[in-house]
Amino acid sequence: MDKFKIQGGCTLQGEVTISGAKNAALPILFATLLCDDEIHLSNVPDLKDVATTLKLLEILGASVKRNGDLTVLAGAVNHHVAPYELVKTMRASILALGPLTARFGMADVSLPGGCAIGARPVNLHIHGLELMGAKIVVEEGYIKARVDGRLKGAHILMDMVSVTGTENLMMAAVLADGRTVIENAAREPEVVDLANFLNALGAKIQGIGTNTLTIDGVERLHGGAYRVQPDRIETGTFLVGAAISGGEILCRNTDPTLLEAVLVKLEEAGALIEKGADWIRLDMRNRVLKPVNITTAPYPAFPTDMQAQFTVLNAVAKGTGVVTETIFENRFMHVPELVRMGADIELQGNTAVCRDTEHLCGAQVMATDLRASASLVLAGFVAHGVTIVDRIYHIDRGYEDIEGKLLALGGKIERIRGE
Ligand SMILES: CC(=O)N[C@H]1[C@@H](OP(=O)(O)OP(=O)(O)OC[C@H]2O[C@@H](n3ccc(=O)[nH]c3=O)[C@H](O)[C@@H]2O)O[C@H](CO)[C@@H](O)[C@@H]1O
Ligand SMILES: C=C(OP(=O)(O)O)C(=O)O
Protein backbone atom coordinates (compact mmCIF):
# COMPACT_ATOMS: atom_id res chain seq x y z
CA MET A 1 0.00 0.00 0.00
CA ASP A 2 1.29 3.47 -0.90
CA LYS A 3 2.25 5.97 1.80
CA PHE A 4 3.03 9.68 1.84
CA LYS A 5 6.19 10.99 3.44
CA ILE A 6 5.75 14.63 4.38
CA GLN A 7 8.41 17.01 5.59
CA GLY A 8 6.90 19.46 8.07
CA GLY A 9 7.45 23.19 8.23
CA CYS A 10 6.11 23.98 4.72
CA THR A 11 4.09 26.97 3.66
CA LEU A 12 1.57 26.26 0.91
CA GLN A 13 1.83 29.10 -1.55
CA GLY A 14 0.98 29.69 -5.21
CA GLU A 15 -1.73 28.73 -7.69
CA VAL A 16 -3.69 25.52 -8.00
CA THR A 17 -6.24 24.45 -10.59
CA ILE A 18 -9.22 22.77 -9.04
CA SER A 19 -10.53 19.58 -10.64
CA GLY A 20 -14.09 18.57 -11.38
CA ALA A 21 -16.13 17.45 -8.38
CA LYS A 22 -15.94 13.75 -7.51
CA ASN A 23 -19.36 13.81 -5.89
CA ALA A 24 -20.93 15.42 -8.96
CA ALA A 25 -19.05 13.35 -11.55
CA LEU A 26 -20.02 10.00 -9.98
CA PRO A 27 -23.84 10.46 -10.05
CA ILE A 28 -23.60 12.03 -13.52
CA LEU A 29 -21.67 8.98 -14.76
CA PHE A 30 -24.29 6.65 -13.27
CA ALA A 31 -27.02 8.77 -14.87
CA THR A 32 -25.60 7.96 -18.31
CA LEU A 33 -27.24 4.54 -17.77
CA LEU A 34 -30.60 6.24 -18.27
CA CYS A 35 -29.89 7.12 -21.87
CA ASP A 36 -29.04 5.09 -24.98
CA ASP A 37 -27.46 7.96 -26.93
CA GLU A 38 -23.89 9.18 -26.67
CA ILE A 39 -22.99 11.52 -23.80
CA HIS A 40 -19.88 13.74 -23.69
CA LEU A 41 -18.58 14.86 -20.32
CA SER A 42 -15.83 17.33 -19.55
CA ASN A 43 -14.08 18.28 -16.31
CA VAL A 44 -14.40 14.70 -15.03
CA PRO A 45 -11.60 14.26 -12.48
CA ASP A 46 -9.04 11.50 -12.94
CA LEU A 47 -9.65 9.61 -9.71
CA LYS A 48 -9.83 6.07 -8.40
CA ASP A 49 -13.60 6.40 -7.79
CA VAL A 50 -14.12 7.57 -11.37
CA ALA A 51 -12.08 4.62 -12.67
CA THR A 52 -14.19 2.27 -10.52
CA THR A 53 -17.40 3.81 -11.88
CA LEU A 54 -16.22 3.50 -15.47
CA LYS A 55 -15.32 -0.15 -14.85
CA LEU A 56 -18.79 -0.73 -13.42
CA LEU A 57 -20.43 0.97 -16.43
CA GLU A 58 -18.38 -1.27 -18.74
CA ILE A 59 -19.35 -4.41 -16.80
CA LEU A 60 -22.96 -3.37 -17.30
CA GLY A 61 -22.35 -3.15 -21.05
CA ALA A 62 -21.68 0.56 -21.64
CA SER A 63 -18.81 1.69 -23.83
CA VAL A 64 -16.51 4.35 -22.44
CA LYS A 65 -13.87 6.41 -24.23
CA ARG A 66 -11.49 8.65 -22.30
CA ASN A 67 -9.46 11.09 -24.27
CA GLY A 68 -9.15 13.96 -21.82
CA ASP A 69 -12.93 14.31 -21.91
CA LEU A 70 -15.21 11.31 -21.58
CA THR A 71 -17.71 9.76 -23.96
CA VAL A 72 -20.16 7.23 -22.60
CA LEU A 73 -22.58 5.19 -24.69
CA ALA A 74 -24.95 3.10 -22.60
CA GLY A 75 -27.12 1.98 -25.52
CA ALA A 76 -25.83 -1.58 -25.33
CA VAL A 77 -26.22 -2.04 -21.58
CA ASN A 78 -27.49 -5.58 -21.12
CA HIS A 79 -26.43 -6.51 -17.62
CA HIS A 80 -28.05 -5.42 -14.35
CA VAL A 81 -25.69 -6.62 -11.61
CA ALA A 82 -23.33 -4.29 -9.73
CA PRO A 83 -21.01 -6.83 -8.10
CA TYR A 84 -19.68 -6.76 -4.54
CA GLU A 85 -16.02 -6.68 -5.72
CA LEU A 86 -16.52 -3.18 -7.11
CA VAL A 87 -19.21 -1.88 -4.76
CA LYS A 88 -17.10 -2.67 -1.68
CA THR A 89 -14.42 -0.26 -2.91
CA MET A 90 -16.82 2.62 -3.52
CA ARG A 91 -20.07 3.34 -1.72
CA ALA A 92 -21.31 5.57 -4.54
CA SER A 93 -21.94 2.36 -6.56
CA ILE A 94 -25.37 2.41 -4.89
CA LEU A 95 -26.14 5.06 -7.52
CA ALA A 96 -26.52 2.26 -10.09
CA LEU A 97 -29.77 1.20 -8.35
CA GLY A 98 -32.10 4.02 -9.48
CA PRO A 99 -31.00 4.23 -13.13
CA LEU A 100 -30.92 0.45 -13.73
CA THR A 101 -34.35 -0.05 -12.15
CA ALA A 102 -35.82 2.84 -14.14
CA ARG A 103 -34.38 1.86 -17.50
CA PHE A 104 -34.40 -1.96 -17.39
CA GLY A 105 -36.91 -2.79 -14.67
CA MET A 106 -34.28 -4.78 -12.82
CA ALA A 107 -31.19 -4.11 -10.76
CA ASP A 108 -29.06 -6.23 -8.43
CA VAL A 109 -26.73 -3.93 -6.54
CA SER A 110 -24.50 -5.22 -3.80
CA LEU A 111 -25.17 -3.64 -0.41
CA PRO A 112 -22.24 -1.34 0.19
CA GLY A 113 -21.80 -2.27 3.87
CA GLY A 114 -20.56 -0.06 6.69
CA CYS A 115 -17.44 2.05 6.47
CA ALA A 116 -15.06 4.03 8.62
CA ILE A 117 -17.32 7.07 9.00
CA GLY A 118 -20.52 5.28 10.00
CA ALA A 119 -23.07 2.58 9.16
CA ARG A 120 -24.46 4.53 6.18
CA PRO A 121 -27.70 2.60 5.58
CA VAL A 122 -29.55 2.88 2.26
CA ASN A 123 -33.11 2.39 3.56
CA LEU A 124 -34.27 5.72 2.10
CA HIS A 125 -33.12 4.72 -1.39
CA ILE A 126 -35.01 1.42 -1.10
CA HIS A 127 -38.16 2.92 0.40
CA GLY A 128 -38.39 5.63 -2.26
CA LEU A 129 -38.10 3.09 -5.08
CA GLU A 130 -40.77 0.93 -3.42
CA LEU A 131 -43.09 3.94 -3.36
CA MET A 132 -42.48 4.19 -7.11
CA GLY A 133 -43.68 0.61 -7.55
CA ALA A 134 -40.46 -1.42 -7.41
CA LYS A 135 -40.50 -4.75 -5.57
CA ILE A 136 -37.29 -4.94 -3.58
CA VAL A 137 -35.72 -7.77 -1.64
CA VAL A 138 -32.36 -7.89 0.03
CA GLU A 139 -30.77 -11.33 -0.36
CA GLU A 140 -27.26 -12.68 -0.35
CA GLY A 141 -25.90 -9.20 0.26
CA TYR A 142 -27.62 -7.73 -2.79
CA ILE A 143 -30.49 -5.26 -3.16
CA LYS A 144 -32.65 -6.80 -5.88
CA ALA A 145 -35.17 -4.43 -7.44
CA ARG A 146 -37.79 -5.47 -10.00
CA VAL A 147 -40.58 -3.56 -11.67
CA ASP A 148 -43.11 -4.59 -14.29
CA GLY A 149 -43.01 -1.91 -16.99
CA ARG A 150 -42.19 1.63 -15.89
CA LEU A 151 -41.76 2.95 -12.37
CA LYS A 152 -44.70 5.15 -11.32
CA GLY A 153 -44.45 8.74 -10.15
CA ALA A 154 -44.87 9.00 -6.37
CA HIS A 155 -44.89 11.43 -3.47
CA ILE A 156 -41.75 10.79 -1.44
CA LEU A 157 -41.01 12.49 1.86
CA MET A 158 -37.42 11.73 2.82
CA ASP A 159 -37.05 11.05 6.57
CA MET A 160 -33.54 12.50 6.54
CA VAL A 161 -31.64 14.62 4.08
CA SER A 162 -29.66 12.16 1.97
CA VAL A 163 -27.44 13.24 -0.91
CA THR A 164 -27.12 9.97 -2.83
CA GLY A 165 -30.65 9.01 -1.72
CA THR A 166 -32.05 12.12 -3.42
CA GLU A 167 -29.85 11.47 -6.46
CA ASN A 168 -30.94 7.84 -6.84
CA LEU A 169 -34.64 8.69 -6.58
CA MET A 170 -34.33 11.71 -8.87
CA MET A 171 -32.63 9.54 -11.54
CA ALA A 172 -35.33 6.88 -11.19
CA ALA A 173 -38.13 9.46 -11.36
CA VAL A 174 -36.84 10.97 -14.59
CA LEU A 175 -38.02 7.92 -16.58
CA ALA A 176 -41.04 7.08 -14.38
CA ASP A 177 -44.62 7.29 -15.57
CA GLY A 178 -46.09 10.51 -14.15
CA ARG A 179 -45.01 13.06 -11.57
CA THR A 180 -42.72 12.41 -8.62
CA VAL A 181 -42.35 14.88 -5.79
CA ILE A 182 -39.37 14.46 -3.48
CA GLU A 183 -39.74 16.42 -0.27
CA ASN A 184 -36.90 17.11 2.16
CA ALA A 185 -34.56 16.58 -0.79
CA ALA A 186 -30.85 17.29 -0.42
CA ARG A 187 -29.82 20.70 -1.81
CA GLU A 188 -26.09 19.97 -2.12
CA PRO A 189 -24.47 21.55 -5.22
CA GLU A 190 -23.73 18.04 -6.53
CA VAL A 191 -27.47 17.24 -6.52
CA VAL A 192 -28.03 20.47 -8.43
CA ASP A 193 -25.33 19.54 -10.97
CA LEU A 194 -26.92 16.14 -11.53
CA ALA A 195 -30.37 17.71 -11.98
CA ASN A 196 -29.02 20.25 -14.48
CA PHE A 197 -27.29 17.43 -16.37
CA LEU A 198 -30.50 15.39 -16.52
CA ASN A 199 -32.49 18.41 -17.73
CA ALA A 200 -29.84 18.98 -20.43
CA LEU A 201 -30.73 15.46 -21.67
CA GLY A 202 -34.46 16.23 -21.76
CA ALA A 203 -35.55 15.42 -18.20
CA LYS A 204 -38.20 17.62 -16.57
CA ILE A 205 -37.00 18.46 -13.08
CA GLN A 206 -38.26 21.56 -11.28
CA GLY A 207 -37.33 23.01 -7.92
CA ILE A 208 -33.62 22.41 -8.52
CA GLY A 209 -31.62 23.66 -5.53
CA THR A 210 -34.67 23.64 -3.21
CA ASN A 211 -35.78 20.92 -0.84
CA THR A 212 -38.79 20.00 -2.98
CA LEU A 213 -38.03 18.46 -6.35
CA THR A 214 -40.85 17.93 -8.83
CA ILE A 215 -40.02 15.52 -11.61
CA ASP A 216 -42.30 14.81 -14.55
CA GLY A 217 -41.22 11.51 -16.04
CA VAL A 218 -40.34 11.33 -19.75
CA GLU A 219 -40.23 8.27 -22.03
CA ARG A 220 -36.59 8.70 -22.96
CA LEU A 221 -33.58 10.96 -22.56
CA HIS A 222 -31.46 12.12 -25.48
CA GLY A 223 -27.68 12.41 -25.67
CA GLY A 224 -25.77 15.59 -24.98
CA ALA A 225 -22.69 17.26 -23.53
CA TYR A 226 -22.10 18.54 -20.01
CA ARG A 227 -19.30 20.05 -17.94
CA VAL A 228 -19.00 18.80 -14.35
CA GLN A 229 -18.87 21.52 -11.68
CA PRO A 230 -15.64 22.27 -9.75
CA ASP A 231 -14.88 20.35 -6.58
CA ARG A 232 -15.84 22.51 -3.59
CA ILE A 233 -14.25 20.07 -1.13
CA GLU A 234 -10.93 19.95 -2.96
CA THR A 235 -11.04 23.76 -3.07
CA GLY A 236 -11.72 23.95 0.66
CA THR A 237 -8.94 21.47 1.43
CA PHE A 238 -6.31 23.58 -0.38
CA LEU A 239 -7.62 26.77 1.24
CA VAL A 240 -7.27 25.22 4.70
CA GLY A 241 -3.75 24.05 3.79
CA ALA A 242 -2.70 27.61 2.99
CA ALA A 243 -4.51 29.02 6.04
CA ILE A 244 -2.84 26.74 8.59
CA SER A 245 0.61 27.13 7.04
CA GLY A 246 0.49 30.93 6.84
CA GLY A 247 0.54 30.95 3.04
CA GLU A 248 -1.20 32.62 0.15
CA ILE A 249 -3.07 30.59 -2.44
CA LEU A 250 -5.06 31.20 -5.59
CA CYS A 251 -7.54 28.44 -6.47
CA ARG A 252 -8.52 28.62 -10.14
CA ASN A 253 -11.34 26.87 -12.00
CA THR A 254 -13.50 26.83 -8.89
CA ASP A 255 -16.81 28.41 -7.87
CA PRO A 256 -16.91 30.43 -4.63
CA THR A 257 -20.72 30.28 -4.51
CA LEU A 258 -20.48 26.53 -3.79
CA LEU A 259 -18.60 26.90 -0.51
CA GLU A 260 -19.88 29.98 1.25
CA ALA A 261 -20.13 28.30 4.67
CA VAL A 262 -16.46 27.28 4.40
CA LEU A 263 -15.30 30.73 3.27
CA VAL A 264 -17.16 32.39 6.16
CA LYS A 265 -15.33 30.15 8.64
CA LEU A 266 -11.96 30.78 6.99
CA GLU A 267 -12.53 34.54 7.33
CA GLU A 268 -13.52 34.02 10.96
CA ALA A 269 -10.25 32.10 11.37
CA GLY A 270 -8.41 35.25 10.29
CA ALA A 271 -7.83 34.66 6.57
CA LEU A 272 -8.17 37.38 3.98
CA ILE A 273 -10.37 36.08 1.16
CA GLU A 274 -10.91 37.57 -2.28
CA LYS A 275 -13.02 35.94 -4.95
CA GLY A 276 -14.12 36.23 -8.54
CA ALA A 277 -16.50 34.23 -10.71
CA ASP A 278 -14.17 31.22 -10.95
CA TRP A 279 -11.38 31.87 -8.47
CA ILE A 280 -10.69 32.30 -4.76
CA ARG A 281 -7.57 33.84 -3.23
CA LEU A 282 -6.73 33.28 0.43
CA ASP A 283 -3.96 35.20 2.17
CA MET A 284 -2.82 34.21 5.64
CA ARG A 285 0.62 35.81 5.56
CA ASN A 286 1.43 37.68 8.77
CA ARG A 287 -2.02 36.99 10.17
CA VAL A 288 -2.94 35.12 13.36
CA LEU A 289 -4.88 31.86 12.93
CA LYS A 290 -7.93 31.83 15.22
CA PRO A 291 -10.00 28.75 16.16
CA VAL A 292 -13.57 28.49 14.89
CA ASN A 293 -16.60 26.58 16.09
CA ILE A 294 -18.22 24.50 13.38
CA THR A 295 -21.28 22.27 13.21
CA THR A 296 -21.72 20.07 10.18
CA ALA A 297 -25.20 19.91 8.62
CA PRO A 298 -26.79 19.51 5.17
CA TYR A 299 -26.12 22.22 2.57
CA PRO A 300 -26.04 25.20 2.72
CA ALA A 301 -24.60 24.68 6.22
CA PHE A 302 -21.03 23.57 6.91
CA PRO A 303 -20.17 20.34 4.98
CA THR A 304 -19.16 17.20 6.84
CA ASP A 305 -16.58 16.60 4.09
CA MET A 306 -14.63 19.66 5.39
CA GLN A 307 -14.88 18.72 9.08
CA ALA A 308 -11.56 16.84 9.36
CA GLN A 309 -9.61 19.65 7.67
CA PHE A 310 -11.11 22.23 10.08
CA THR A 311 -10.32 19.96 13.03
CA VAL A 312 -6.65 20.32 12.05
CA LEU A 313 -7.10 24.08 11.68
CA ASN A 314 -8.47 24.25 15.22
CA ALA A 315 -5.72 21.98 16.53
CA VAL A 316 -3.04 24.44 15.42
CA ALA A 317 -4.90 27.74 16.00
CA LYS A 318 -4.40 29.78 19.18
CA GLY A 319 -7.33 29.09 21.53
CA THR A 320 -10.17 26.57 21.70
CA GLY A 321 -12.44 25.57 18.84
CA VAL A 322 -15.35 23.16 19.02
CA VAL A 323 -16.24 20.87 16.13
CA THR A 324 -19.65 19.17 16.13
CA GLU A 325 -20.40 16.41 13.63
CA THR A 326 -24.12 15.85 13.07
CA ILE A 327 -24.13 13.87 9.79
CA PHE A 328 -22.07 10.73 10.43
CA GLU A 329 -21.84 8.94 13.79
CA ASN A 330 -18.18 7.97 13.48
CA ARG A 331 -16.39 10.70 11.58
CA PHE A 332 -13.64 11.50 14.05
CA MET A 333 -11.20 8.74 13.14
CA HIS A 334 -8.57 11.38 12.37
CA VAL A 335 -8.66 12.66 15.96
CA PRO A 336 -6.65 9.84 17.61
CA GLU A 337 -4.10 10.16 14.80
CA LEU A 338 -3.84 13.93 15.34
CA VAL A 339 -3.47 13.31 19.08
CA ARG A 340 -0.53 11.02 18.21
CA MET A 341 0.96 14.08 16.49
CA GLY A 342 0.61 16.05 19.72
CA ALA A 343 -2.78 17.72 19.16
CA ASP A 344 -4.84 18.49 22.27
CA ILE A 345 -8.29 17.30 21.19
CA GLU A 346 -10.91 15.86 23.50
CA LEU A 347 -13.74 13.83 22.04
CA GLN A 348 -17.12 14.17 23.80
CA GLY A 349 -19.72 12.20 21.82
CA ASN A 350 -20.18 13.95 18.50
CA THR A 351 -18.05 16.91 19.56
CA ALA A 352 -14.32 17.48 19.38
CA VAL A 353 -12.94 20.17 21.65
CA CYS A 354 -9.66 21.36 20.12
CA ARG A 355 -7.29 23.31 22.35
CA ASP A 356 -4.13 24.90 21.09
CA THR A 357 -0.86 23.07 21.22
CA GLU A 358 2.66 24.48 21.04
CA HIS A 359 3.18 22.58 17.79
CA LEU A 360 2.33 19.27 16.12
CA CYS A 361 5.11 16.68 15.78
CA GLY A 362 5.62 14.44 12.77
CA ALA A 363 4.54 10.84 13.37
CA GLN A 364 3.50 7.70 11.58
CA VAL A 365 -0.27 7.96 11.13
CA MET A 366 -2.99 5.92 9.46
CA ALA A 367 -5.50 7.30 6.98
CA THR A 368 -8.95 5.86 7.63
CA ASP A 369 -11.19 7.63 5.15
CA LEU A 370 -10.92 10.16 2.38
CA ARG A 371 -11.15 13.48 4.22
CA ALA A 372 -9.43 12.14 7.34
CA SER A 373 -6.49 11.31 5.08
CA ALA A 374 -6.44 14.79 3.60
CA SER A 375 -6.49 16.29 7.08
CA LEU A 376 -3.48 14.20 8.14
CA VAL A 377 -1.54 15.34 5.07
CA LEU A 378 -2.30 18.98 5.96
CA ALA A 379 -1.26 18.33 9.57
CA GLY A 380 2.02 16.86 8.28
CA PHE A 381 2.87 20.13 6.51
CA VAL A 382 2.62 22.20 9.70
CA ALA A 383 4.16 19.62 12.06
CA HIS A 384 7.79 19.60 13.15
CA GLY A 385 9.68 16.74 11.51
CA VAL A 386 8.54 13.98 9.20
CA THR A 387 5.03 12.51 8.98
CA ILE A 388 4.26 9.23 7.26
CA VAL A 389 0.61 8.88 6.23
CA ASP A 390 -0.20 5.21 5.62
CA ARG A 391 -3.07 3.78 3.52
CA ILE A 392 -3.40 6.73 1.19
CA TYR A 393 -5.54 4.75 -1.25
CA HIS A 394 -8.37 6.62 0.47
CA ILE A 395 -6.97 9.95 -0.79
CA ASP A 396 -6.56 8.59 -4.31
CA ARG A 397 -10.30 7.88 -4.34
CA GLY A 398 -11.11 11.57 -4.22
CA TYR A 399 -8.18 13.95 -4.91
CA GLU A 400 -6.77 14.21 -8.43
CA ASP A 401 -2.96 14.31 -8.50
CA ILE A 402 -2.83 15.47 -4.90
CA GLU A 403 0.93 15.23 -4.54
CA GLY A 404 1.57 16.97 -7.89
CA LYS A 405 -0.63 19.86 -6.82
CA LEU A 406 0.87 20.07 -3.33
CA LEU A 407 4.45 19.90 -4.66
CA ALA A 408 3.68 22.81 -7.00
CA LEU A 409 2.47 24.77 -3.94
CA GLY A 410 5.76 24.15 -2.13
CA GLY A 411 4.65 21.15 -0.05
CA LYS A 412 7.38 18.62 0.60
CA ILE A 413 5.54 15.39 -0.09
CA GLU A 414 6.72 12.11 -1.55
CA ARG A 415 4.76 8.98 -2.45
CA ILE A 416 6.36 5.79 -1.18
CA ARG A 417 5.03 2.98 -3.34
CA GLY A 418 4.00 -0.22 -1.56
CA GLU A 419 3.62 -3.64 -3.08
C1 LIG B 1 -20.69 10.07 -3.21
C2 LIG B 1 -21.22 11.17 -2.36
O3 LIG B 1 -21.87 12.07 -2.84
N4 LIG B 1 -20.89 11.12 -1.07
C5 LIG B 1 -21.34 12.18 -0.19
C6 LIG B 1 -22.76 11.88 0.26
O7 LIG B 1 -22.76 10.62 0.89
P8 LIG B 1 -24.16 9.89 1.16
O9 LIG B 1 -25.11 10.26 0.10
O10 LIG B 1 -23.85 8.46 1.36
O11 LIG B 1 -24.61 10.54 2.50
P12 LIG B 1 -26.10 10.85 2.92
O13 LIG B 1 -26.42 12.26 2.62
O14 LIG B 1 -26.99 9.80 2.35
O15 LIG B 1 -26.02 10.62 4.50
C16 LIG B 1 -26.54 11.54 5.44
C17 LIG B 1 -27.02 10.81 6.67
O18 LIG B 1 -28.20 10.10 6.34
C19 LIG B 1 -28.10 8.75 6.75
N20 LIG B 1 -28.87 7.92 5.79
C21 LIG B 1 -28.66 8.07 4.45
C22 LIG B 1 -29.34 7.31 3.54
C23 LIG B 1 -30.28 6.36 4.02
O24 LIG B 1 -30.93 5.63 3.25
N25 LIG B 1 -30.46 6.24 5.36
C26 LIG B 1 -29.79 7.01 6.27
O27 LIG B 1 -29.98 6.88 7.47
C28 LIG B 1 -26.58 8.47 6.70
O29 LIG B 1 -26.22 7.36 7.48
C30 LIG B 1 -26.03 9.77 7.22
O31 LIG B 1 -26.08 9.78 8.63
O32 LIG B 1 -23.19 12.88 1.15
C33 LIG B 1 -22.42 12.95 2.37
C34 LIG B 1 -23.06 14.01 3.26
O35 LIG B 1 -22.96 15.27 2.70
C36 LIG B 1 -20.96 13.25 2.04
O37 LIG B 1 -20.21 13.17 3.22
C38 LIG B 1 -20.42 12.28 1.02
O39 LIG B 1 -19.16 12.73 0.56
C1 LIG C 1 -17.37 10.45 2.27
C2 LIG C 1 -17.01 10.77 1.02
O3 LIG C 1 -17.20 10.02 -0.08
P4 LIG C 1 -18.03 8.67 -0.24
O5 LIG C 1 -19.46 8.99 0.02
O6 LIG C 1 -17.79 8.31 -1.65
O7 LIG C 1 -17.47 7.70 0.77
C8 LIG C 1 -16.32 12.05 0.73
O9 LIG C 1 -16.26 12.43 -0.46
O10 LIG C 1 -15.82 12.69 1.67
pLDDT in tens, 196-217: 999 999 999 999 999 999 999 9
Q: pLDDT tens digits for 261-286?
A: 999 999 999 999 999 999 999 999 99
Contact 106, 100 (CB under 8 A): yes
- From atom 10 of ligand 2, which residue's Cα is the shortest distance away? 305
Helix 232-244 with 260-268: angle, nearest 10 deg: 10
The pLDDT value given to residue 151:
98
* Catalytic status, residue 115: yes
Whether the full predicted model's pTM is greater than 0.90, yes or no, is yes
The pLDDT value given to residue 78:
87
Q: pLDDT tens digits for 108-142?
A: 999 987 678 988 999 999 999 999 999 999 999 99
Instruction: Please check the confidence at residue 409 and state whether its pLDDT lies above 70.
Output: yes
The pLDDT value given to residue 134:
98
The pLDDT value given to residue 234:
98
Q: What percent of the chain has pLDDT over 70?
A: 100
Rounded CA gap, 273 and 71, in Å? 37
80 lines ligand 2 (CB under 6 A): no
The pLDDT value given to residue 114:
65
Contact 136, 163 (CB under 8 A): no
- pLDDT, average across residues 384-395: 94
Instruction: Please check the confidence at residue 162 and state whether its pLDDT lies above 90.
Output: yes
Contact 323, 302 (CB under 8 A): no
Q: Which of 56, 87, 115, 305 to mutate to test the pocket of ligand 2 (most atoms within 8 A of CB)?
A: 305
The single residue of 115, 251, 354, 361 carrying the catalytic annotation is 115
Instruction: Please check the confidence at residue 358 and state whether its pLDDT lies above 90.
Output: no
371 lines ligand 2 (CB under 6 A): yes
Rounded CA gap, 48 and 190, in Å? 18
Measured in Å, residue 89 CA sits from the centre of ligand 2 at: 11
> ipTM of the predicted structure?
0.99
> What's the one-letter identity of residue 187?
R
Q: pLDDT tens digits for 247-262?
A: 999 999 999 999 999 9
Three-state DSSP at 205 gives: strand
Residue of 201, 198, 150, 159 lying closest to 182 (CA atoms): 159
**Beta-ladder partners of 354:** 321, 345
Measured in Å, residue 159 CA sits from the centre of ligand 1 at: 12
Q: How many helices (H) and strands (E) does the chain have?
A: 14, 24
> What's the one-letter identity of residue 283?
D
Measured in Å, residue 380 CA sits from the centre of ligand 1 at: 28
Q: Which of 47, 90, 129, 164 to mutate to test the pocket of ligand 1 (most atoms within 8 A of CB)?
A: 164
- From atom 27 of ligand 1, which residue's Cα is the shortest distance away? 121
Q: Which of 95, 115, 327 to mutate to test the pocket of ligand 1 (most atoms within 8 A of CB)?
A: 327
Q: What percent of the chain has pLDDT over 90?
A: 95
The pLDDT value given to residue 336:
97
Q: pLDDT tens digits for 304-316?
A: 999 999 999 999 9
Q: How does residue 1 score in pLDDT terms, banded at 50, 70 and 90? A: confident
Measured in Å, residue 161 CA sits from the centre of ligand 1 at: 8
Instruction: Please check the confidence at residue 244 and state whether its pLDDT lies above 90.
Output: yes
Measured in Å, residue 68 CA sits from the centre of ligand 1 at: 30
- From atom 32 of ligand 1, which residue's Cα is the shortest distance away? 163
- pLDDT, average across residues 296-323: 98
- From atom 10 of ligand 1, which residue's Cα is the shortest distance away? 164
Residue of 74, 41, 303, 34 lying closest to 168 (CA atoms): 34
Rounded CA gap, 400 and 416, in Å? 17
What rounded mean pLDDT belongs to the chain? Answer: 96
